[in-house]
Structure 1
Amino acid sequence: MNAQKQGFQWPLAGRKDELQRISQAWQNQRTKVLLLTGPAGVGKSRLADECLTQAVRGGWRGARATATAAAAAVPLGAIAHLLPPSVDMSDPVRAFSQVAAVLAGPQRNLRWAILVDDLHLLDTSSAVLLRQLLDSDGIRLIATIRSGEPVGEAVQALTGGDRSYRIDLGAFDQRQTEEVLQAALSGPIGQRTVHTFWAASRGNALYLREMVQGAVAASTLSSDGEIWELAKGGLPSTPRLVELIGSRLAGAEAEDRELLELLALCEPLSLEDAATVVHPQSLTNLESTGLIQMRQDRRRTTVALAHPLYGEALRADMPALRRRELILAQVKRTKAHGARRREDSLRLATWELAASGTADPQLLVRAAILASHSHDYEQVITLLEGLPDDAHTYESHLLNGNALLQVGRWEAADTVLARAEALAGGEAQKVAVTLHRTWSLFWVAGRTEAALQVNAASYQKAADAKWQRVLKLNEASLLILSGNVPKQDHAVLSDLDAHFAGEPSIPAWSMAALAKAHLLGQTGRLNEAVSFGQQAYSAHRDIDETALGSLIPAAQLVAVSYALADVGQLDKSRQATDIILAATEGTDNALTWTWASYFRGRTEWLAGDIAVARGWFAQTIARSRAHRYVPSLFRALAGLAACAAVLGDLEASASAIEEMAGYSPMGSHAGEEYLGQAWLYAAHGDIGQARATLFVAVEKAKLAGDITSEIILLTDIARLGGAKEVTERLAALADACDGAFARARARFATALAADDASQLQAVADELQVIGANLLAAEAANAAAAAWQRAGNARRATAAANQAAACAINCKGAHTLLLNAAQATAALTHREREVALLAAAGTASKEIAEILHLSVRTVDNHLQHAYSKLGITARRELAAVLGIRS
């Protein structure tokens, strides 16, 4: 999708709070001047334009002027075009009075809002005139001033006092950046892309606009129909951006250019190193002009460029030999200091590779280890590619294999890990290779059987009992996380300590801890899952960073998020995923990010905010495709298919289901992958087939022992008219499952089966408290229909109002109970079922076969339904029932 073809326009967004304050200030009769201040590029002019537009809409006459250094040399130069031609300016006192009179109009009732951009450059005469007009109540002034610029006395007098309302504009934060991007692109945008634009622009509105327009023009920023994502390394410049950055850098003195160039290549620098390149006074000057900034890192002061785009511009103009000269000089300085700091190995190796294409092998390996600890896996791969073949060791191959699997290159990872295994010096090292190979096959390629075979082969060769236990732990983890949960795997994990005491392999322990929390959750022991997962998270944070290949600590919260959602603590579930997303932001740890994103989507699905859930699933799909992560891609496609169907986007739902068919299911959350197909059938009105699909899914969940997934699937059968068939099983599962959510869903099904208005109303209240707004809206809607059938109009209205209030949080959702409950309130259960199938275009003969009725009985039910619904023909059913045929 191309944003330019959509009529790409740059919006005013991200300034909601400021606009509200401006509106309040404008309504205050004492406010004569609205003053917007801030650094260059922050969006002052754009906001000032909006202020003027709103004033004009409110009945003011508008005018604008731009103060410039050139215009300041001429009295009244900035506002000469605003002065009536009939006014003689040779007598300023008299002329000012005439201007005020002309502006006020014959009836003296005209009100003027005048916008002056860059007010700090306004000439004295213009400032004096504007002040007199303000004093005469002839105008109000909207003005922008750039922070840090000198302001003349006349302008100070114009803007001083309590008649001025000042707003200091800062750069956008990440949330505001997302708002701007969504408004500009007219659609949702991936969190990684938001972070990339925000980090690169530092929230500068002007730079952000230029980068987005450049990326759209270069097609590196595009939409797959669901979400906008930026290709890796896809931030092209534009001529305007080059000009803007170039003008900022042009203010530096020639002798200071060397420091700026060095920072572009090697930032941050210590203050001592920077002072060897330029005079200390130059550092002060560069800082005051906003080109560099000082940072305090414990007791060490460092120097960096004030904006990342400055570095891009400087590097683009730098010849290769100049780069080499500057980098090698900095390498020499750093080595002269002894390269004592932890990160010096990484910096030296990176610099030497950039300057000469080679570096000391030991330095490269140390640097790669540091990059791995920072989850900069692309950097790990780059560093180790610079290592000569004969310098590779078991450790370097294992390090490289881990990095390759993290970025989704599982075939290359398998090749490199095979080399590591050939160099392994004992069982500990061989088992470590096995763990990485199985994880690459399982988490990236989605090849569970292949992963289990690799693990089994390694187990057969292991002689030491402790390493056999590690491989058994790994096997149990893979089986549980794939949805295959034999009882012996329960036993393997049952005594796993959340604090990993005595575990010989931290990576295997961390994966097993995740699997155990997941197992506890899917077997209904949700409170235990939360507790165990949180303990594992705390313990994991204390692990030595040198434990290569272990999951990041925040990954333990994936299972916690899942358990919290199913127990009914949806806000806490969101908080858990927020921690994971924050921990992986700005890193190459996309594997953990995709699962956090998926589970955030699942939480929103359970909450009933289907459009938001779809956005999270779309982000998971985009990131999984980019890294070829098959399991997370499959799960997210399933989630998106369900969301799209409920939102009425049947084409997108069918497309996602078709793509899912190309992959093998991972197996976790057994049966939930059928939700998309079931809700697609339901959206077409084929309720019988939707329920049949869900019953197949229920059997799969039963086989896997997945109580929480089975509860979700059974609840949806009840929502689609099959409540009487599932109430007994749901009640039994709710007794075996922790939390209020399972109990509320069981009561929901029981109330639907009984068509009990009071029970439905009570369960709507329970679900609303939990935050399951779609289920709450459906329960309240069903209660309203039941009250209506009982002839209690007052209660029916109250329940309908509650349904509407809950449905506000479920924008765009279309379900049987949400759409058709009121319309079919007068129908019997069988009449509703027949009517819904007919509305989807199902012939009477087919309906008879589906419901095991005679064709005559079907037609009789339809005639009764037509009469009760006030229609005369089958073709009118779809519109009345809200069904997409």
Structure 2
Amino acid sequence: MPLHWPLVGRNAELAAFTAAWANRRCRAVVVYGPAGVGKSRLGEEYLTRAVQAGWKGSRVRVTEAAAAVPLGAIAHLIPAGLDLSDPVKVFADVARVLARPPQQRRRWVVYLDDLHLLDAPSAVLLRHLLDAGVVRLIMTVRAGKALGEAVDALCHGDAVHRVDLEVLNFAAVGDLLRAGLGGPVGRRTAHILHEASGGNVLYLRELVYGALQAEVLTSNGEIWELAEGALPSTPRLAELIGVRLSAASPAARPVLDLLALCEPLSLTDADNVSPEVLADLEVTGLIRVNLDVRRTMLTLSHPLYGEILRSDMPTLRRRALLLEQAKRVQAHGARRHDDALHIATWHLTATGTADPHLLTQAAFIARYAHDYHQALTLLQAMPEQHHTAVTRLLQGELHYELGHHNQAEAILGKLAEQVIGDNETFAVAMKRTENLFWGAARVSEALAINHTVRATITDPAMRQALAENEGAMRVVAGQTQEGLIRLGDVENSPDERIRLYGMEVKVHALSNAGRIGDAIRLGKRAYAEHVEADTRLVNLHSAMQLCPLSHAYQELGELRRGQETAEAGYARALEVRAWQPATGLANMLGRSLWLTGHAVAARRAYTESLALARDRHFLPILLRLAASGLAASAALLGDLEAAGAALADFSSYPDGSFLPGEDHLGEAWLLAARGQLMQARAVLTEAAQTAREAGSFTSEALLLTDIARMGGAKDVAGRLEELVTICDGAFAPVRARLAAALAADDPDQLSATAEDLETIGADLLAAEAATAAAAAWRRAGQKRCAAAAMTRASACAAHCEGARTPLLATAEVTSMLTAREREVALLAAVGTPSKEIAASLHLSIRTVDNHLQHAYTKLGVTTRRELANSLGGTRPARSVDYGPGAKRTPSSAGTR
């Protein structure tokens, strides 16, 4: 599948070239870098820029075949008829012809790709031309390649600018994938491709081609995602890496094969290989040598080298190498913490069996490293008679971590019938409720099991831990106050796992309850304790603690800090492939971006959270929040089709939310985008009541604020003022001031509130408040004040990536309309017939037509089409560009 791969991530190199080329003393630019890093592509761009600056360009593609013929590489630069037997005369004649008389002189630039292959006579001629000032050179050289004396002379000197090109970092790989595929790429997918390619552009492209051809890299209309499993290779990729590996001498092949199977290796494991061979492998860039505490470790320099080496390795040789290495490590005492894992894995790969004790030990080590697939493989290789309650419990846990919730319940449910004593009963109950609640979203069943076990168990500490477990589940199920009561003093629980888990959920609950100061203090403590526990405790990754901490910062009114916290946690979770924390963090990142009004970025974050929760089978209990957030973001961008698609399966998702009522934001904003503001307010009113009953006051404040933004400010201003006395931080007061200013239509209050909202990072709310202020000033005849308010509104809206709301889109245009006329006009503008408008607003058709005629007169229009045009931004769009290079196919929205 042909793709366009633009030049990305090379801004610094391009800027350096521009500066160097503008210097009159510059004679050449040389680009150094390993194979596949993008030297040729960068050199082409340099040549293009030089030609655009007025230079006459010539390309020289240096090959081994051309290098065998003296002057063969640059033969096209030598004028016909010259006597090549006299090199000195040839050099002078070529310089004279290229230079020409001053009135005809052209500035020449010659681009030489793969300079290390250039023959000596060509290098000497080019050096002569360079010194004569006839040409400038742009050259690429593969790092690690030996250069002849004549060629090397081209690369040095004060007039030669050197560029060392490195592999692309993660951000640049993400940009390249997005541009090449024509749409956003999930960060999980970008991480996998960056890790597999090592940032090598050539390898990355082949991996993407292979994944597209195998149909494991697909777009659901929102983002590109990779399916689970190994990345498929391509013949071209195998050929490229094969050529790279062929640089190794025959004597080096044994150590390369051993590294492919067993890396990392200590230097002592390669004691049968001469130091010269190892040094040569390091110089040629095939291996890396690192100091790990007191041991020198060897690894292959690229992740794909091992894959290609293994694919070519005969079965018996593979078996022999693995068993020899296992024997060697055991002979050294197997003292390192992960030696048991390596030995068991090598035996299992070589023979299909391994010592049961070793398998158990290795499985726990793999689980500690969050390598759930490997841990499960090790346990599944264990003979049935060697399984214990401990190994079965671990097996059930691993199935849960991998999203195999039914398999986990089958194992844990059977184990629950066989356990003996409080310790085993408690351990199985905790893991079983975790799987049923978080994994299978069988909330009532999980609560019932927790209740039954708590009633039968006798140990007081375990009974307390089960009460705290129930509290956590109730908070996440949307029962904030009831959950907080049961969580009690969980931060002092003696069970470390319960303490870390309980603190995470309690921070969310405290934020919901408006106790933001307490939430932040506990959140910081929980994160610090969890980071320390990561070094010794088998538990979810500490990144999970950044999700509730981000939530607390958001409600404190520090929206940018909330976003940065979620962003950092999400990146870390993806890096270590901790998919469950990543799912929640992506959701919280979406929420922080939604609150700032950055609709495109919020849409992407919610899309990734939805993909992880649904397609990767992690945390289905977050499905409603993710789908709702995606729908709301798409609706803000005018993509009503995508918003509807996101909500298509909404009713089938598990009910309940740790942010009560917020799972209805998508439905409300889709209605608002269609102009159905009364119905939207009704949805939000019911959702706000749900939040209030649950004791989730910050969610209630968010929902009531949206009612105010949709024309219901007078209905909610009083309650928002009450919430100021309940909720800490800056966000609750500024929300209340916004509703009061909208209700009073006070331009001074609206302008002051816009400034406050901008300060906390709520860009879209600030733009709305400033726009409403401008409209109020205009009605008061204060044109200068109105212009100043619109300047602020425009500046804030510029950060919101094209988001449009009813208040933002219509406040200025409809400033002369009454509230009812504005509502009727909005419905008519999106094509709603008068009969349906009358039914939805409980008016007669005649009254609707009268309101519509008044609106026509005030706005100076005569038709609904003209009305829609005057209310720009309220009509449904078929598609939206939500990223550089992004394309959307409406028919594919919401499908896979």
- What is the TM-score normalised by the length of structure 2? 0.94
- Match in the other structure for 1:308: 303
* Mean Cα deviation higher: 344-353 or 127-136: 127-136
More moved, 21-30 vs 847-856: 847-856
Which residue of 2 is the match for residue 176 of structure 1?
A: 172
Q: Distance in 1 between matches of 2:799 and 2:685?
A: 29
2: CA distance, partners of 1:616 / 1:684 = 24
Residue range with higher mean Cα deviation, 832-841 or 569-578: 569-578
Give the partner amino acid of 1:218.
Answer: A
Cα distance in 1 for partners of 2:33, 2:269 equals: 32
Task: Find the residue that maps to 1:359 and give its secondary structure.
Answer: coil
- In structure 1, how many angstroms separate the alpha carbons of the residues matched to 2:305 and 2:828? 65
- Give the 3 Å change call, closer, same or farther, for CA 656–832 of structure 1 in structure 2: same
How much has 1:420 moved relative to structure 2?
3.2
3-state SS in 1 of match to 2:813:
coil
Query: What percent identity do the matched residue pairs reach?
Result: 49
State whether residues 480 and 658 of structure 2, in contact with CA within 8 Å, keep that contact through their aligned partners in structure 1: no
Q: 2:562 aligns with which of 546, 569, 573?
A: 573
Matched residue type, 1:495: D
Distance 2:250 2:655 in 1: 62
How far did residue 789 of structure 1 move? 2.1
Structure 1 position 876, deviation (Å):
1.8
- In 2, Cα distance between equivalents of 1:837 and 1:402: 52
Quote the RMSD (CA, aligned, Å): 2.1
> For residues 95 and 758 of structure 1, do their structure 2 counterparts lie closer, same or farther at Cα, with a shift above 3 Å needed?
farther
| Partner SS state of residue 334, structure 2 | coil
What secondary structure is seen at the aligned counterpart in 1 of 2:225? strand
Whether 2:630 is the aligned partner of 1:643: answer no
Match for 1:687: what amino acid?
L
Quote the offset at 1:163 in angstroms.
2.1
SS at match of 1:601: helix
**Counterpart residue identity of residue 107, structure 2:** R
2:198 to 180, 191, 202: 202
CA contact (8 A) 1:435 1:508 kept: no
Aligned equivalents of 1:416 and 1:715: distance in 2? 47
1:490 counterpart (481, 484, 492): 484
- Structure 2 contact 396–411 (Cα < 8 Å) conserved: yes
Instruction: Note closer, same or farther for the CA distance 1:76–1:425 as it changes in structure 2 (3 Å cut).
Output: same
Deviates more, 1:379-388 or 1:784-793: 784-793
Q: 1:260 to 1:467 in 2, by over 3 A?
A: same
Q: Give the Cα–Cα distance (whole angstroms) in 1 for the partners of residues 542 and 86 of structure 2.
A: 77
Shift of residue 792, structure 1, vs aligned partner: 2.4
Match of 1:393 in 2: 388
Partners of 2:862 and 2:81 lie apart in 1 by 75
The 8 Å contact of residues 394 and 421 in structure 1, kept in 2 or not, is answered as: no
Q: Map residues 410-809 of structure 1 onto 2, 5 A cutoff.
A: 410-487=405-482, 489-497=483-491, 500=492, 503=494, 505-543=495-533, 547-548=537-538, 550-629=539-618, 630-809=620-799
Query: 1:645-672 deviations in whole A, cap 9, x for unaligned?
Result: 1111111111111111211223221111
Query: What CA distance in whole angstroms lies between the structure 1 residues aligned with 2:134 and 2:853?
Result: 73
For residue 154 of structure 1, report the CA deviation from its aligned partner. 3.3
Residue identity matched to 1:175? A
Name the structure 2 match of 1:255: 251
**1:813 aligned residue (785, 803, 807):** 803
Alpha-carbon separation, structure 2, partners of 1:440 and 1:532: 26
What does 1:373-388 align with in structure 2 at a 5 Å threshold?
373-388=368-383
Shift of 1:818: 2.2
1:167 is matched with which residue: 159, 163, 168?
Answer: 163
Deviation at 1:852, TM superposition (A): 4.6
CA distance in 1 between partners of 2:307 and 2:430 (Å): 40
Shift in CA distance, 103/814, structure 1 to aligned 2, threshold 3 Å: farther
Q: Which amino acid aligns with 1:691?
A: R
Q: Does the 8 A contact of 1:174 with 1:198 survive in 2?
A: yes
For residue 493 of structure 1, what is the amino acid of its counterpart?
A: L
- Cα 1:544–1:13 change in 2 (3 A) is closer
Contact 1:393 1:423 in 2 (8 A): no
In 1, the alpha carbon distance for the partners of 2:341 and 2:624 equals 37
CA distance in 2 between counterparts of 1:490 and 1:123 reads: 77
SS of the counterpart of 1:282? Answer: helix
Cα–Cα, structure 1 residues 251 and 98, in superposed 2: closer, same or farther, change >3 Å?
A: closer
Quick one: which of 14, 25, 37 aligns to 1:30?
Answer: 25
Q: Write out aligned runs for 1:309-324 (5 A).
A: 309-324=304-319
1:407 is the counterpart of 2:435: no
Deviates more, 1:758-767 or 1:522-531: 758-767
Shift of residue 235 of structure 1? Answer: 1.4
For 1:105 and 1:570, the matched residues in 2 are separated by 65
Provide the aligned length of Structure 1 versus Structure 2.
Answer: 873
For residues 207-257 of structure 1, give each alpha carbon's deviation from its aligned partner in whole angstroms, at most 9, with x where no partner exists: 111111111121111111111111222411111111111112222222322
Confirm or deny that 1:274 pairs with 2:270.
yes
Supply the AA of the counterpart residue of 1:248. Answer: R
What displacement does 1:849 show? 4.3
1:288 partnered with 2:279: no
Deviations 1:122-171 (A, max 9, x none): 33333333334334544332111122223334334434333222211111
- Once the two structures are TM-superposed, the CA of residue 683 in structure 1 deviates from its matched residue by 1.2
1:822 alignment partner, SS class: coil
Letter paired with 2:161? Y
CA distance in 1, matches of 2:380, 2:649: 35
**For structure 1, which segment, 478-487 or 309-318, has the greater mean C-alpha deviation from structure 2 after superposition?**
478-487
1:856 positional shift: 3.9
Bigger CA drift: 864-873 or 637-646? Answer: 864-873
CA contact (8 A) 1:327 1:351 kept: yes
Equivalent position to 2:214, from 205, 212, 218: 218
Aligned to 1:144: 140
Note if 1:835 corresponds to 2:825. Answer: yes
Amino acid at match of 1:51: Y
Over residues 163-215 of structure 1, what are the superposed CA-to-partner deviations in whole Å (9 max), with x where a residue is unaligned?
22221111111111111111111111122211211111211121111111111
Change (3 A) 1:545 1:52: closer
Contact 2:816 2:858 in 1 (8 A): yes
Tell me the residue number matched to 2:893: none
Q: Which runs of 5+ in 2 are unaligned?
A: 877-896
Is contact 1:291–1:307 with CA below 8 Å preserved after alignment? yes
What are the superposed Cα offsets for residues 595-626 of structure 1, whole Å, 9 maximum, x if unpaired?
A: 11111111111111111111111111222223
Q: Give the Cα separation in 2 of the matches to 1:234 and 1:40.
A: 24
Q: Residue 251 of structure 1 aligns to a residue in which SS?
A: coil
Select the structure with the greater relative contact order (CA < 8 A; seq sep ≥ 6). 2
Q: How does 1:103-114 map to 2 (within 5 A)?
A: 103-104=98-99, 107-114=103-110
- Amino acid aligned to 2:45: E
CA distance in 2, matches of 1:8, 1:59: 30
Shift of 1:310: 1.1
CA deviation string 1:290-339 (max 9, x = no partner): 22221111001112212121110111011222111111111111111111
Paired with 1:855 and 1:90, the residues of 2 have a C-alpha distance of: 99
Return the alpha-carbon distance in structure 2 between the equivalents of residues 439 and 672 of structure 1: 24
| Letter paired with 2:828 | A
Deviates more, 1:572-581 or 1:509-518: 572-581
In 1, Cα distance between equivalents of 2:753 and 2:19: 43
**1:343 to 1:783, Cα distance in 2 relative to 1, 3 A:** same
Distance, in Å, in 2 between the alignment partners of 1:357 and 1:469 is 44
Distance 1:547 1:422 in 2: 27
Output one character per residue of 1:419-465: Cα deviation in whole Å (capped at 9) or x when no partner.
Answer: 43344332122111111111111111111111101111112211232
Paired with 1:867 and 1:90, the residues of 2 have a C-alpha distance of: 92
Gaps (5+ residues) in structure 1? none
